[in-house]
Amino acid sequence: IRGAQFKPNGAQVLLLIDGRPVREDLEGGIVSETLESFPVNAIERIEVIKGPGSVLYGSGAVAGVINVITEKADKNEVTVAGLGGEKGAFDTMAKAKVKNGDFNMLLAGKYHEKPDWNTPYDYKDASGNLVRTQMTFPDKGPGSFVDMNYKNLRLIASYNKWQNAFFIPDIQAFGPVTSEKRFANLGYEGLKVNDLWRMDFNTTYSGSDFD
């Protein structure tokens, strides 16, 4: 955003889900598993706010903010979709909406698997000789999202996992890598103190695993 890419992990752009920050514990900005595996069938729209936003949104919003806004469970509904491609690639998605009086719930999930990327990788060994090895990059993972509302109380949560590969040329290291992201937010919105003052309360959990 606006040419700002100060770190390779994109830590200057803050990702929000329904207005709540999806933070990452290791370096502050790695959200690859969420971008790859979040169930897009649950998304209503995506808002991009360019420019510094840390005053309103906290740390990580130096260059901008991306807010993923999910659908509302305004009726009872179940949908399933699937996509297929060459070399065994596929993407499956399912979504369920439940509405009963003041209670509504949205459940969504997906699993995608793209073709493995087989590519040669060249590096120099300790003697300075050029060595070529074949590397295989997987690209697959599951994602899920849940949104439960009862009157002014709301719980949202997501789990995303992505399997890929890494390589570090300086030490000739390469192999599979798995990253996981767990996110949850419990909030109470719209506590009216007076005509000019309304209060919202939120507690957010975010956890990351990088194997």
**Partners of 174 in the beta sheet?**
167
Q: Is pLDDT at 5 greater than 70 in this prediction?
A: no
Please tell me which of 6-10, 49-53, 95-99, 192-196 the model is most confident about, judged by mean pLDDT: 95-99
Q: Is pLDDT at 98 greater than 90 in this prediction?
A: yes
Q: Return the SS3 of 56.
A: helix
Higher pLDDT among residues 169 and 39, named by residue? 39
Q: pLDDT tens digits for 107-160?
A: 999 999 998 888 887 877 778 888 888 888 889 999 999 999 999 999 999 999
What tokens does 86 get? Answer: 């060459």
Q: Is pLDDT at 105 greater than 90 in this prediction?
A: yes
Integer Cα distance of 64 and 48 in angstroms:
7
pLDDT value at position 32? 84
Q: Return the SS3 of 128.
A: coil
pLDDT value at position 7? 60
Q: Under 8 Å CB-to-CB from 69, ≥6 apart: which residues?
A: 18, 19, 43, 44, 45, 46, 47
Would you say 53 and 14 are in contact if contact means Cβ atoms under 8 Å apart?
yes
Model pTM above 0.75: yes
SS3 content of the chain, % helix, strand, coil (to 5): 10, 65, 25
